[in-house]
Every structure is written in structure tokens, then in C-alpha cells.
Structure 1
Amino acid sequence: MRFIPVILACLSLATATILENGQARLDPYPGQATKIATIADSDPNWKTYPPDAHQIGYKGRWCSKYVSWWSSPGIKFRYAGNDLAITFGNYTSNGVLLAWRITGQPWNFANVTAGDTYQFINKDTPGQLTAVDGQETTFEFRVTNWALGVQLHRVHVAKGYRIYGIPEFNKKIEMIGDSLTAGYTGTYEGISSFAWGLCEGLGNIEFTFTAYSGICLTDNLCWGNPRGQLYQWLQTSDTGFRAQQIYGTNPEPWQFDKYQKADIVIINLGTNDSNAYTETGTVPDDEFKANYIALINSIHEKYPRAQIIAMQIWQGFYQYGNTYLQNLEGYQGAILGAVDNFKKKDGSNFVHYFNTTGILQHNDINPLWHLTDAGNIKVAAHLMQYIKLTFGWELGNTGKEVYSHTSYYNDLPDY
């Protein structure tokens, strides 16, 4: 039997080829922003906002230096006028790929670099509908690369116009995981993940993905990550090289009391703990169960009203004769035991078990032992229905694009 190695890999920027059924995708990164000259705060053609402007809504985890962390962080605000530009600070990863869009338009992509200014919006930008029929125009970007990030330095709009804040949605999901949640090997990484499909698919909710490749639940050295999620999810930054450069061994604690609390927390951890290639070896079942219980207690302390979903990890498939079978040895008993530890006699349980067995098939996992785009979509769809049926949440996204560039179809009626 084989296990999924959830490893740290060499990062490549968005100049890499995206394959689509074995063929190079045409125009894989449409919508590149235009690099322009630096805009001074006193520039007569622009109105400039600092990163602490209350109108800027930060999504995911950002530190006090306005640096983004973990998977799929971003910003969001409404704006007026035909011009919008952003200056990125020196802690921005060179060439990091952003997904950006106007309101419900398809996602575009832009590579940005430290210290530079990019114009995203002008009068010819598709979807630019400022002040038309009372429609709001919203600008949003998300960092797609799981180990890279940006530092927000300034937001600029044309002189005489302004940006506006957007109220937070009433519900929020936080997902705590590793590379499987972060979208490792997905076509557009974070915004191709099952986490993204779930939360964007549900619609009208806030969400945070506290996920990083190679990380264990257990708080030990794991695939180059110095700490596990039992410790790291309490911190603002992830465990990557950027964080170690900026904060060393003293990360900023996440200030839970200052931010919207999660209504649902989803845990997808254990694949790295169960992998014999971790620096400390495979974590024994009883130790893993104890750590899982400790994480649930930690989450419950920070979010006392949250419902917690423990996902059964999938360990891939192995050949069995002339077919394939799913490996079910991934801490199934330990995770179930942790869930049972919180069962109440009156049935008012706040910890729930989501069994992934049977959702994925052999070809939903790629040669690097991570989900294909189709696999991510399947897990997201099942989770959406589970949350709807278990907690009564409505499916609120009734039109906005979720996954980018996935509208594959055949329109030939004859063969």
C-alpha cells in the first residue's frame, strides 16, 4: 500500500505551463495588470489609501505588517471611477500570482512584484459598470500561490473618486489543513482547492484557509515545517520560509478577539502525520488521537459556538489484482475516536465526522498523490451538501464563477 506524500516542493511562478488533458492551455493567465510608475501620495491624478484604511476588507490572515499568509488570502472593497491601482510592499514575493475580478466577472490573473505599482482597472476593463443602474462595483484579489504572498502598501483610485467598505457576511467557515486543503498541484492552487470550491460555492459567507503544505497536526518538525497545526493555527503566519525570514521563531499570535468568529471549522489533517517520511517518523495512532482532541479543544476555546467537522483523510489507492482499492488506514479509528470523545448523551454534539470514503476514485488523485481539479470539485460538492443537510445552510451562490477556466465541454452532437 502507498501513502500520499504531502511534501514541500520547489515553487514555480505563473510562467509554468498548465496542461489540459495533456495539451498546453492557451492563454492560461488572462488579465495581467499593467505595471505603471510609482504613484506618490500627493499625485494630483490619484487619491491614495494606506493599508490600514477602514474601507479595505482583508480576507484570510494578514499580519500587522499587512503581509498575507496561508492559503488564498485577499482583499475586497467597492470603488467608484474608472481607474484603480495597487502598490505592493517589499515583503511581496516576486512574481506571485493573484486572481482578481470585478464583482461577479470571471477571474483574471496578474503576476506582481515587490515595490511595484500595477493598474488593474481602467475604463476598458471588461465588467466595468460603475454607477450603472445602481449596481455596485467590487474589486477583489486572492493570492493563489500557497507559499507566497503580498504586502499591501497603497490602494489608488482616480482623483475625485473613492473606495467603500463592504460589510462582512453573517456566517464564516475556517478550514485547518495541509497541502490537500491549500490546493497543492491544483491548476490555480488555492483557488482550485476543494476548500475554495466549498466556500465560494456556498456563497455569501466569509472564509479563511489556515492550510500549508507538508504540515502535520502533531507539533513537530514535518516536511520542513518547524511546527504543527496544534501550535501554528494559533499564529497569524504560516510555517514557510517567508515567515521565518520576517518573524523567525516568534510569530505574531492571531488575535481571535479582533476578528469575526467561525461558525464552522473543518479539519483535514493527518496525511503527513501518517507518512513515514516525516522527520520524526509516523505518529502513533494513540498520540494522533490525543493531538486531534487537543486541537478540537483549542478550536472550541477560541470559537465556543462553532460546529467542528473532522474530515476522514484519504490515503490514495493501491493496485489490487486487476483493479484498485482505496487505502483506509489513515487514522480512521483515531479520528472517529476523537469525534466520539465529544459526543453528548442528549445529541447536542458540536463535533461531526465527515467520511470521505467513496467520494474519490483512482483517477481523482494525480501522480503527485494530490487531488486533480475534478477531485477537488467532487470533495467540495459533497461537503456543500453535507453542510446544507446537517446545519441547514443555504447554497447562496447563484451565478458567480467559482473555479476559473473549468468550463470544459463538448458541443459536437455526432461522432
Structure 2
Amino acid sequence: MRWPFSFAAITFVCAFLSTATIIENGQVRLNPYPGQATKIYSIKSNDSAWRTYQRNAPEIGYKGRWCANYISWWAAPGIKFGYTGDNIAVTFGKDTSHNVLLAWRVSGLPWNFANVTADATYHFVKPGFPAGVAAGQTTIFEFRVSNWNLGVQINAVHVDRGAAISKVADFPRKIEMIGDSLTAGYTGTYESTSGTGWNLCEGFGNVEFSIIAYTGICLTDKACWGSPRGQLYQWMRTSDTSPRAIQKYGQTPPAWPFSSRQAADIVIINLGTNDASSRTTTPAVSDADFQANYIKLIKSVFEKYPNTKIIVVQPWMGYYRAGSGNTYRQSPNTYKAAIRGAVNSFGGASGGVHYFDTSGILQHSDINPKGHPTDVGHIKLASHLMQFIKLTFGWNFQNTGQEVQSHTMYWNNA
């Protein structure tokens, strides 16, 4: 989605977004980042207090997209494993972004947040913290990178000497989302872990997921809002289009090894806003070109995931004030005819391509001053998509009781 300032400014701002002010119902949120991990000394391999697992240990489950150097990319990647004992620490490598924000939790308890940086070890789980963890039992530890354009590099995981970590089995189903800022959670309080993609996938409680989304990116393979390539090319790559990815891999990012990874049962595509508003040396993408490019993207998805179902989400362009009154109207949908044409070219639902119309889901108050959904707006979009998937494909929700989004328990104590 378009915003009224330069990509260079966005890059600068987002580098510090994890320490920015979070506004909650018009007031500054108290204690916005609870659960900070303690930075500790470097743990040696023969340390008598710790047992160390190297980053390639099969017990560590990597979620989302990670490269061969164990660097995370795109939105909300993370790790997950079972453990015994009372302590967990993680050592992060030199390619970890400075002050990147992690959302972390233990066995479905409320999410905590910790800022970490390169070449350092952080102590997350301690005796008695987080509260509610039963001593002596195998528990699950996980974290997700919250910032959409930053990432971490894993060097090692540490538990108590005499304790152990274990592999957590993958859920049998997987959702993959291909999108831009609307999916990545740009301007959400916790960015990726507040976005539509996160709320949808975590909301099911029983699916694996990857969120291949980056702010400013187009569907069309061209430069858009600072992204040098579009999703027509980039979603098949391990890394995103961030400055750190370009610094690491230049113009030849590694291909994603689809054949050796869990296939997606559902792929959700939400693209088009940046194609319509792209600030480049050439005009915005025409309807005809956009439709042709959308067809190419859908074909590439079927090539990688022959048995998948695709949901095409209709993007929107926000709201405008109608006349001199207090009524707001939704702007015309972006590329609606072109998107419907692309869907129909595959036979629609009978061909495995489903159209999801977002008209009427959001209201003016669900859009923040930066032109993107508020946290509530993201939840509303995700909830409607969840019901669409349930009704269309028969997927049931798992009533886990786990917290999906932190700090959303608002109530009046009067």
C-alpha cells in the first residue's frame, strides 16, 4: 500500500520500530514490550551449567523461510522445540538485525517480547518465569520475528545441563500467504505478529504457515516503493527484498527449495495496491498487464504446489469522506475486473482458484492514519478469512485457548 513518504525514510523508521511508541485507544500503551530476555555472557560449549545444541540440530524446528546460513527472512519466521529443564538461552549470529523484536512464548501462554541483537546470547526462560510453567515437564518454546523487514541468525540453543530439547511434530496442514504491507502487518502494534496473516494462521491453532509478505512490494516484477523485484519473482526466493537481503545476496537471492519443504494446502494472495500506486519512472501497471501477471503468479503457485487451493483476496484503496457530512465511503476496489478475470481464466472455484471479496468488511475507523488497518482491522479481515476457509474447505478451528495477539484484553473495570 502507498504511503506519503520515501522508502528511505521507512527503512530508517522501521529499524527503530521495536522501540517506537505504541498507541492504544489514543493513549500510550503501558509496558508495551513485557518479557525482555536478559543478555548474558557467551556460553562456552563445555560450560558446566548448560547443554548446547548447534543451530543445525534436528530438534530445532524452523518456521517460515530461513536460508542455509540460518538467517530468517520475510514476515513472522521463527523456531519451535520442546524442552525439559528450567532455562533456555539462544545465541544469535552476526547477521542478526540490531534491536530486532521477537515475540516468544512457552506452551501457548501469553506472548512476551524481547529485543535482541547480533553476536549475543539471551536468557529467555528462567526458573519461575514465565509464570505458569510446570516444573519438570516437557514444555514447548517458540519465538517469531515481529519486525517485517528485520531478522535474526541462529547460532545455538542452550538448556540446563542434564536437560534436553525435542522435535515438535509439524501440523499436517499448511497455509502460505503471498502479500505486501497489508499481510506483513505494517504499522500494526507488533507488525508481523499483529497482521492479518498472523491472526488468520495462528487463529486456526493447528496449521503451519509462512507469510511471504513485504511492505511496498508489487505483484508485477518491477521496482515498487523501494523493492527491486515483485512477488511474481520474489516469492520463489528464500529472502525478501529488504536492504539487508540485498546486502547479503545482491541481485541473486537463493531459490526456495520447495521440493524439500512441506507443501501448502492453501495459498492466499493479497496483492495489487502497490501496482496501482507504484512510484517509479514508468506509469502504474495497466489492468491488462496486471491480469496477465496475476495469471502468471497463479500458474507458478500451481507449479510449486500442484494440489493446493488458492484464495485471491480483493485489495482496496481505503476510504474517503463523502460530501460535507460525516459519511465515509470505500474507494473503488483495486484491479477488481482484472483480478476477477484472472480467477475466471482458471475456471474459478472449480479450477481451485477462489475469489475473496473484502468489500464491506472494514469501516473507516479500521484504517489508521498511515492508511493501513488498525490491529482491530487486521483481526476483522483474518476472522472473515477464517470463516471463508471453514465454509469453503471444511477446515475446523482448534479450540486451544492459546493467545494469538498480545495485549488485546481490553475491558472497563467500572
Contact 1:221 1:280 in 2 (8 A): no
Contact 1:107 1:404 in 2 (8 A): yes
CA shift at 1:379, angstroms?
0.2
Counterpart CA distance in 2 for 1:162 and 1:411 is 44
1:131 is matched with 136
CA shift at 1:72, angstroms?
0.3
Contact 1:292 1:335 in 2 (8 A): yes
Of 113, 123, 126, the match for 1:122: 126
Counting matched residue pairs gives 405
Counterpart CA distance in 2 for 1:73 and 1:299 is 20
Counterpart CA distance in 2 for 1:174 and 1:25 is 32
2:3 is matched with 5
Per-residue CA deviations over 1:83-107 (Å, capped at 9, x if unaligned) read: 1100000000010000000011100
Map 1:13-162 onto structure 2 (within 5 A).
Answer: 13-125=17-129, 126-132=131-137, 136-162=138-164
Per-residue CA deviations over 1:220-239 (Å, capped at 9, x if unaligned) read: 01111110000000000000
CA shift at 1:325, angstroms?
1.0
2:245 is matched with 243
Contact 1:265 1:309 in 2 (8 A): yes
Of 350, 353, 356, the match for 2:355: 353
1:317–1:286 CA distance, 2 compared to 1 (3 A): same
Counterpart CA distance in 1 for 2:189 and 2:263 is 30
**Corresponding residue SS for 1:274:** helix
The one-letter code sitting in structure 1 at the alignment partner of 2:104 is: W
Counterpart CA distance in 1 for 2:276 and 2:290 is 9
Task: Flag structure 1 segments of 5+ consecutive residues without an equivalent.
Answer: none
Contact 1:226 1:239 in 2 (8 A): yes
Counterpart CA distance in 1 for 2:301 and 2:312 is 12
Contact 2:2 2:278 in 1 (8 A): no
Contact 1:72 1:209 in 2 (8 A): yes
Per-residue CA deviations over 1:260-318 (Å, capped at 9, x if unaligned) read: 00000000000000005344331000000000000000000000000000000011011
2:317 is matched with 315
Map 1:117-266 onto structure 2 (within 5 A).
Answer: 117-125=121-129, 126-132=131-137, 136-266=138-268
Pairwise CA RMSD of aligned residues?
1.3
CA shift at 1:398, angstroms?
3.0
TM-score (norm 2): 0.96
Identity of aligned residues (%): 59
Deviates more, 1:14-23 or 1:353-362: 14-23
Counterpart CA distance in 1 for 2:52 and 2:107 is 22
**Corresponding residue SS for 2:312:** strand
Contact 1:71 1:212 in 2 (8 A): yes
Contact 1:222 1:279 in 2 (8 A): no
CA shift at 1:142, angstroms?
0.4
**Corresponding residue SS for 2:65:** strand
**Corresponding residue SS for 1:294:** helix
Counterpart CA distance in 1 for 2:353 and 2:301 is 11
CA shift at 1:324, angstroms?
1.4
TM-score (norm 1): 0.95
CA shift at 1:19, angstroms?
1.0
Counterpart CA distance in 2 for 1:340 and 1:180 is 24
Counterpart CA distance in 2 for 1:348 and 1:355 is 17
Counterpart CA distance in 1 for 2:65 and 2:399 is 23
CA shift at 1:381, angstroms?
0.5
The one-letter code sitting in structure 2 at the alignment partner of 1:386 is: F
**Corresponding residue SS for 2:385:** helix
The one-letter code sitting in structure 1 at the alignment partner of 2:106 is: I
Contact 2:2 2:216 in 1 (8 A): no
Counterpart CA distance in 2 for 1:411 and 1:279 is 55
CA shift at 1:404, angstroms?
0.7
CA shift at 1:13, angstroms?
3.8
The one-letter code sitting in structure 1 at the alignment partner of 2:171 is: F
Contact 1:13 1:95 in 2 (8 A): no
1:179–1:276 CA distance, 2 compared to 1 (3 A): closer
CA shift at 1:411, angstroms?
3.4
Task: Flag structure 2 segments of 5+ consecutive residues without an equivalent.
Answer: none
The one-letter code sitting in structure 2 at the alignment partner of 1:342 is: F
1:68–1:397 CA distance, 2 compared to 1 (3 A): farther
Structure 1 ranges of 4+ moved more than 4 A: none
